[in-house]
Structure 1
Amino acid sequence: MIAALLIAGAAIAHATWNIAMKRAGTSGTPFIAATLVVGVVIFAPFGVSALIAAPPTTSAVVPLVLGSAGLQLAYFLLLQRAYRLADVGVVYPVARGTGPLLSVIGAVLLLGERPGLVALAGAALVVAGVVVIGTAAARAPIGERDSTARRWRGIRYGAAVGVVIAAYTLWDAAAVTRADLEPVGYYWASMVVQLGVLLPLALRERGALARTVREHPVAIGLVGALSPLAYVAVLVAYTLAPVSIVAPAREVSVVLIALAGWLLLREPHPVRRLLGSVIVLAGIALLGLG
């Protein structure tokens, strides 16, 4: 029950910050650095307290934190570029479908998990549902000349983002389950490293950084606060349930983002979005039974 509540809360937070970032229409180092400042500051009391209360006992903590930071930076920068060059309704569902599919495979092959047939069927339905949503969102209005190129660009970028999602999912899951690192302190340390890499680069573009902060304070605040909140909730869920269950189940956020893409961003084809959403929810129901 606790894992389910964590996954549901993470899905809402994740969908919210993705929409905020898409609507901001900005990208690049200044934006990411600004969001990291917000996240590091907000979560500092919790991260520091967690590290003091449960100091790491393994020498692998440094490479684990550095690896997590590198994968998270790759995810954010690639996702921003994808959102700038393609529709969120294509990139997001494809990424969130590819990610859990590869995560389940990785959990079986690398983490030794053995999900039951019902759970595997649920994971398959989740992936199928996001494919339905993605193909619906990819269908641009008739008469748009670059619709085919834009659609395939979105699919390519979405798949690439999905590979990174699977990589950081398995990496961080191993950190909090196999290496027994405390999730809040671990991810806060990862954010500190990310900020240490990006802030010097952002300060080289002081004008762009100041303009980004001035023009997008709401988006920066939402992404900075909700992104780490969502991910820490998922990390805690990994300690309570198998990765092969949690990784697909968190994709309920695809349903939220698909509906928001239609209602808020005016992206087309609501019927297929709704159909795909029903398939995703059916898959998540099976995951719960599994």
Structure 2
Amino acid sequence: MTLFAVALVVFSALLHAGWNILGKSNQVSGAAFFLATSSAAATLLTPYLIWYLNTIGLESLPPVFWKLLLVSGISQMVYLLGLGLAYKHADIGVVYPMARALPVLMVGVGTVVLGHQLEPLHWFGFALITLGCLVVPLDSFKQLNFSSYLNLGVLWALVAAVGTTGYSIIDKEALLLINQSVGELIADQYSSVFYLGIQFWAIAMPISVYLLATKQREQFGVAWNIRRSALIAGSMMAATYGLVLFAMTMTDNVSFVVALRQISIVFGLIMGVIFLKEKWYLTRGVGVLLILIGLVLSLS
């Protein structure tokens, strides 16, 4: 990864931790919150989507792209709804690291399956990041056993992690497909912004279908009532993942981007202590140290 790509991902991680603080502190359901935020971001970017499609021509994008987009949107929905439910049952200092832990190894495995190479040092760094994420939720090292993770907060955090793994791998492939299809017509950076906007529509629509299918129509009204705070959080979400997608265009192996994004755990823990008055334990300090060492090794 280039230094510029690293800087983009680190800044996006700071924004990511910020909107997670907003998500944890909101008093409405996760489904309503994320419907509102994704719809706000999608609406803001719609004029750009119209310009982009008018520039390249809708027929320039192959059918397989729209299939990848659909799967990515569903994966994002799984991630967001899992995260929202997790925050109802546990502190952000517990949920946030857990939701970020598994994707590091899972995306690493996925990229190897797709043909990318990872050195043993990279795997060791990924393992340290994951271990740090698993230590962070504990109050003390005496709790370092399987039973400590048997709670609803961790369960939903794992569901969120599965969603993260899915969209991280798919989004890289979708970006590659876009660039191969229209790279001669428009620069990759413009395509990354287009994908960001179209993906928010791919998130909002599955969430809407989910709410209708589960007969939770009142959540649409709740989402409308929080539209102002959702606009702020949605803008942060858009900026966060927009920077990540931009960085993806600068590196071949998405697992490095996913690993570096875990610096957001450090930001999230600090914000949780400062803004949500959550407690800081020795385990969290050790976990943060393991994550930072893992990041250095995985990017070396």
The TM-score with structure 2 as length reference comes to 0.82
SS in 2 for 1:85: coil
2:111 corresponds to which residue?
107
Aligned partners of 1:30 and 1:212 also within 8 Å: yes
Residue type of the alignment partner of 1:263: I
1:201-220 alignment runs, 5 A limit: 208-214=219-225, 217-218=228-229, 220=230
Aligned partners of 2:36 and 2:227 also within 8 Å: no
Describe the shift of the 1:87–1:150 C-alpha distance in structure 2 as closer, same or farther (beyond 3 A): farther
Indicate whether 1:278 and 2:285 are aligned.
no
1:15 Cα offset (Å): 0.5
Distance (whole Å) between structure 2 residues aligned to residue 131 and residue 96 of structure 1:
10
1:25 corresponds to which residue?
27
1:12-91 alignment runs, 5 A limit: 12-54=14-56, 56-91=60-95
Single out whichever of 44-53 and 24-33 deviates more from structure 2.
44-53
Aligned partners of 2:97 and 2:134 also within 8 Å: yes
1:122 corresponds to which residue?
125
2:205 corresponds to which residue?
196
RMSD: 2.8
1:281 Cα offset (Å): 1.5
Cα deviations by residue, 1:168-215 (Å, 9 ceiling, x for unpaired): 111111111355373221232222233334457769867654455445
Structure 2 unaligned residues grouped into runs of 5+ = 182-190
Distance (whole Å) between structure 2 residues aligned to residue 164 and residue 127 of structure 1:
17
Describe the shift of the 1:178–1:208 C-alpha distance in structure 2 as closer, same or farther (beyond 3 A): closer
Distance (whole Å) between structure 2 residues aligned to residue 118 and residue 74 of structure 1:
31
Residue type of the alignment partner of 2:96: Y
1:235 to 234, 245, 249: 245
1:251 corresponds to which residue?
262
Aligned partners of 2:79 and 2:159 also within 8 Å: no
Distance (whole Å) between structure 2 residues aligned to residue 87 and residue 72 of structure 1:
21
1:267 Cα offset (Å): 2.2
2:185 corresponds to which residue?
none
Cα deviations by residue, 1:10-57 (Å, 9 ceiling, x for unpaired): 101111110101011322443222212210122223333344445544
Residue type of the alignment partner of 1:5: A
Q: How many residues align?
A: 280
2:187 corresponds to which residue?
none
Distance (whole Å) between structure 1 residues aligned to residue 77 and residue 270 of structure 2:
27
Aligned partners of 1:122 and 1:283 also within 8 Å: yes
Residue type of the alignment partner of 2:128: L
- Superposition misfits of 4+ residues, deviation over 6 angstroms: 137-140, 148-151, 200-206
Residue type of the alignment partner of 1:91: V
Describe the shift of the 1:206–1:164 C-alpha distance in structure 2 as closer, same or farther (beyond 3 A): closer
Distance (whole Å) between structure 2 residues aligned to residue 19 and residue 227 of structure 1:
12
Cα deviations by residue, 1:243-289 (Å, 9 ceiling, x for unpaired): 12111111100111112222222222333222221221222122332
Structure 1 unaligned residues grouped into runs of 5+ = 141-147
Distance (whole Å) between structure 2 residues aligned to residue 214 and residue 137 of structure 1:
41
Aligned partners of 2:78 and 2:159 also within 8 Å: no
Aligned partners of 1:115 and 1:244 also within 8 Å: no
Residue type of the alignment partner of 1:15: A
Indicate whether 1:94 and 2:94 are aligned.
no
2:278 to 260, 267, 273: 267
Aligned partners of 2:82 and 2:157 also within 8 Å: no
Single out whichever of 14-23 and 53-62 deviates more from structure 2.
53-62
Single out whichever of 160-169 and 113-122 deviates more from structure 2.
113-122
Aligned partners of 2:48 and 2:194 also within 8 Å: yes
